[in-house]
Amino acid sequence: MAAVTRVNGPLVEVDGLGGAAMFDLVTVRGLPGEIVAVRGERATVQMYEYTGGLTPGLPVEPTGSPLSAVLGPHLLGGVFDGLLRPLTGAPMWLEPRRLAGTPAGRWRFDPLVARGRATERGTPVGAVGTAGGLPYLVLSPGGAVGSIRPAGEYAAGDVVATIGDAEVRMVTRRPVREPLPCRERLAEPVPLVTGQRVLDLLFPVRLGGTAAAAGGFGTGKTVLLQQIAKWCDADVVVYVGCGERGNEMADVISDLARITDPRTGGRLADRTVVIANTSNMPMMAREASVYTGVTVAEHFRDMGYGAVLIADSTSRWAEARREFGSRAGTLPAEEGYPADLASAIAAFYERAGRVTTLGGRTGSVTIIGAVSPPGGDMTEPVTTHTERFVRTLWTLDRELAYARHYPAVSWDASFSRDAGPLAAWHDRNGGEGWAAARARVSALLAEAGHLSGLAELVGATALHPRERVVLLAGRLLREGLLQQSALSTVDAYCAPDRTLALTGAVLGAVDECLALVAAGTPAGDVEGRDFSAVLRAKESG
C-alpha cells in the first residue's frame, strides 16, 4: 500500500505508488495532491493544501485521474478557488479538506436534439438557462442520441441524455493541464474591443490573441485588467486572481455584482467566472489556478462563445513553480526558476486562439496576463519570456503612473503584432480612417517624445516653431485622447466609434495648429490658445 515517507511543506514523498501515472491526483487524509515525479515505486507529490500534521506512514490513495475541474452551469456568476471549488457558500475561514462535489441547485434544461440523431463531439444537445441570459450549452461526447430528457428543471448531476454509451450531465469533469481539443485554428484577425482607447487604438488585441500587462507595483496593472474585465466585448470573462490581494478580489467581486452589463442589461457578474486564489491561499492551488482558469475559458469557447481569460498575475504563478521546484531539489536556471519556465509560459499562452470547435461553431479564448517584475526590472526572466510569446505587450510606465497618467501604458515600450491587420479590419467594418488615424497618432507621439528629450537640453523655445507644435500635439494626444479615467462614469468605457471621433477631433486641432505656424503665426501664440474643449471632449458623453 502507498504511504507517505517525507513531508516538507507542500512537497510529499510517497512509497509504493507503482502504476500511478505522472500528474495523477492522490489524496492523503482527504487532502488533494498531484504526482509530479516518479522514480521506481517512489513518487513526489505536490499537495494543494496546508500539510500540517501529515506524518510519514500515512496511507496515500491514488484516484487514477489527473487534476480535473468540475465544469457546469454553476460557473457563471460564481467565485471559486484555484481548484475550482466554490467559495460562494464556503465558510469565512478556509480550512483545508474542502471537497469539490457536484454543485447544488437545479437548472432549467431545454433539449436541442431529438432522440436517434447522430451527433458529433461538441455538438450542443441542450441549453441550460443561467442567470445572465447567456445559455450554457451541454455538449455531445459524440454518437447517436439514445435518450434525452424533456424540458424541465434538473439537478446538475442528473443524467439529461445518453449519447453513444455515455451518460451526459449538465456538469462534466475535465483535466486542467491539457488543452481541450478543437477542430481548427482560425487565422483571420478580429479585434477584441477593450473600451480602453490607448489599447484599442495603439496596442490592440485580437479575439483569440494574447496580451500581457507588465509593470512594477503602483503602475496600475490591476486597475487596467479590472477595466478590461468589466468592459471588453467578450461573452464570458474568466478573472483569475492568482496570488494577489484579498481586498482587491473583494473589490472585483463587489464591483461585478454592482455594475450592469451594457450588453445584456443583467449583472456583469452573470457573465463572469471569478477564480480567487489570493496570495495567502495555498501556494500550489495558486499554481493550478491559471490552468483551471484557461480550462473554464476553453469550455465556454467550445460552446461557441468568445471567452477572455485574465490572469493577475502570471509572475505569482511562475514563482509558485519556482518555490516548488526549489523544495523538490530541481536544478535552478535563471534567477532560481526551473529550466522549463519558458516552455511553460509559452504553452500557457498557446492555449489562446480563435477556433472552429469540434461541434463546428466559432469560439475564442483570449489570454491577458499581468506580469509583476521584481523591482520593476523588465529584464527578469518571467517578463522577458512573456514578451517573446505574447502578440501584444502593454508596458506600464512608473513615470506615467507617478504623473497620474492612467492607464500608464508606455507608447514606446509597448507593442501589438496585430495592430496593422486589426486597423485594416476597422477600416473595412465601419471605422473608416482608423488605420490612418492610428498611424498619425503613433508618428506624432514618437516625434513628440524625441523632441521633448531635445527640449530638456536646449529649452523648448530654441526649437523650430513646427517642432514646438509637435510637442503641443503630444500633450493634446496624451491628455485629450490617451488618458482615460477608470472612475469617470462617461469615460470608463469608450466604444470604437467614439475612440475614432475623439482621435479625429484631437488630430483636427493639431492640424489647425500646424497650419497656423506654417502660415507664420508665432509658436507662442499657438501654444497659448485655449484647448480646453479638445481636452474635455472625452468627459462629455
Partner 1 sequence: MIEVEYTDVAELRGPLVVVRGTGGVGWDEFASIRLAGGRRRHGLVLEVSGDLALVQVLEGTSGMAPGEIGVAFSGAPFGVPVGPGWLGRVCDGLGEPLDGGPPVSGAESVPVGGLPVNPVWRLPPSEPVLTGVSVIDLLTTLVRGQKIAMFSSPGLPHLDLAAQIAAQAHAPGEPFNVVFAAMGLTHADALGVRDTLEARTSAGDLVLLLNLADDPVIERVLTPRIALTVAEHLAFRLGRHVLVVLADMTSYCEALREVSSARGEIPARRAYPGYLYSDLASIYERCGKVRDLPGSVTLLPVLTMPAGDVTHPVPDLTGYITEGQIVLSRDVPGYPPVDPLASLSRLMRHGVGAGRTRPEHADLAAQLLAGLARARQAQELAELVGADALGPLDRRYLDLARAFTGRLATQGRTESHDLGETFDLAWQVLSTLPRAELTMLDPAAVDTFYRP
Cα–Cα separations (whole angstroms), residue 171 to 72, 73, 535 = 4, 7, 51
User: Counting contacts by CB under 8 A, is residue 374 touching partner 1?
Assistant: yes
Contacts (CB under 8 A) with partner 1, residues 303-332: 316, 319-320, 322-323, 326, 332
For partner 1, give the closer residue by CB, 25 or 283. Answer: 283
Q: Give the H or E element holding residue 392.
A: strand 392-395
- Structural contact between residues 497 and 430, judged by C-beta atoms closer than 8 angstroms: yes
- Rounded Cα gap, residues 123 and 148, in angstroms: 14
Query: Per CB under 8 A, which region of 143-151, 244-252, 349-357, 520-528 contacts partner 1?
Result: 244-252
- Rounded Cα gap, residues 305 and 302, in angstroms: 7
Options 122, 132, 189, 243; binder of partner 1; rule CB under 8 A: 243
User: Counting contacts by CB under 8 A, is residue 251 touching partner 1?
Assistant: yes
Query: Per CB under 8 A, which region of 179-187, 203-211, 372-380, 447-455 contacts partner 1?
Result: 372-380
For partner 1, give the closer residue by CB, 379 or 520. Answer: 379
Number of residues engaging partner 1 in binding (CB under 8 A):
59
Options 18, 19, 30, 56; binder of partner 1; rule CB under 8 A: 56
- Structural contact between residues 82 and 282, judged by C-beta atoms closer than 8 angstroms: yes
Closest approach of Cβ 247 to partner 1, in Å? 6
Here the cell at position 463 is 526649437
- Rounded Cα gap, residues 222 and 246, in angstroms: 13
Name 66's Cβ contacts closer than 8 Å, sequence gap at least 6. Answer: 21, 23, 24, 25, 34, 175, 176, 177, 178
Burial 258-290 (b: 16+ CB within 10 A, else e): eeebeeeebbbbbbbbbbbbbeebbbbbbbbbb
Closest approach of Cβ 457 to partner 1, in Å? 12
User: Counting contacts by CB under 8 A, is residue 335 touching partner 1?
Assistant: yes
Closest approach of Cβ 54 to partner 1, in Å? 5
Query: Per CB under 8 A, which region of 122-130, 212-220, 232-240, 450-458 contacts partner 1?
Result: 212-220
Closest approach of Cβ 114 to partner 1, in Å? 41
Q: Give the H or E element holding residue 353.
A: strand 353-356
For partner 1, give the closer residue by CB, 196 or 315. Answer: 315
- Rounded Cα gap, residues 244 and 183, in angstroms: 35
User: Counting contacts by CB under 8 A, is residue 524 touching partner 1?
Assistant: no
Options 276, 481, 494, 506; binder of partner 1; rule CB under 8 A: 276
Query: Per CB under 8 A, which region of 105-113, 164-172, 239-247, 492-500 contacts partner 1?
Result: 239-247
Closest approach of Cβ 172 to partner 1, in Å? 24
User: Counting contacts by CB under 8 A, is residue 53 touching partner 1?
Assistant: yes
User: Counting contacts by CB under 8 A, is residue 453 touching partner 1?
Assistant: no
User: Counting contacts by CB under 8 A, is residue 372 touching partner 1?
Assistant: yes
User: Counting contacts by CB under 8 A, is residue 57 touching partner 1?
Assistant: yes
DSSP string, 102-142: PPPSEEEEEE-S-TT-EE-TT-EEEEE--TTS--EEEEP-S
Options 40, 150, 375, 528; binder of partner 1; rule CB under 8 A: 375
- Rounded Cα gap, residues 126 and 154, in angstroms: 12
- Rounded Cα gap, residues 170 and 168, in angstroms: 7
The label of the residue with cell 460552446 reads: 303
The label of the residue with cell 477564480 reads: 275
For partner 1, give the closer residue by CB, 38 or 328. Answer: 328
Options 30, 218, 262, 524; binder of partner 1; rule CB under 8 A: 218
For partner 1, give the closer residue by CB, 81 or 302. Answer: 81
Options 52, 520, 528, 541; binder of partner 1; rule CB under 8 A: 52
User: Counting contacts by CB under 8 A, is residue 448 touching partner 1?
Assistant: no
DSSP string, 14-36: EE--TTPPTTEEEEETTEEEEEE
Backbone angles phi, psi at 511, to 5 degrees: -60, -40
Give the x/- contact pattern for partner 1 in 383-422, rule: CB under 8 A.
Answer: -------------------x--------------------
- Rounded Cα gap, residues 500 and 486, in angstroms: 19
Closest approach of Cβ 332 to partner 1, in Å? 5
Closest approach of Cβ 281 to partner 1, in Å? 5
Closest approach of Cβ 170 to partner 1, in Å? 23
- Rounded Cα gap, residues 304 and 366, in angstroms: 13
57 Rama class: left (phi>0) / alpha (psi -120 to 50) / beta: left
Contacts (CB under 8 A) with partner 1, residues 81-100: 87-88, 90-95
User: Counting contacts by CB under 8 A, is residue 246 touching partner 1?
Assistant: yes
DSSP string, 394-416: EEB-HHHHHTT-SS-B-SSS-EE
Options 20, 76, 170, 281; binder of partner 1; rule CB under 8 A: 281
DSSP string, 503-521: HHHHHHHHHHHHHHHHTT-
Contacts (CB under 8 A) with partner 1, residues 5-34: 5-9, 13
For partner 1, give the closer residue by CB, 335 or 512. Answer: 335
Closest approach of Cβ 269 to partner 1, in Å? 12
| Interacting residues toward partner 1 by CB under 8 A | 5-9, 13, 50-57, 79, 87-88, 90-95, 216-218, 241, 243, 245-251, 253-254, 276, 278-281, 283, 316, 319-320, 322-323, 326, 332, 335-336, 372, 374-377, 402, 487
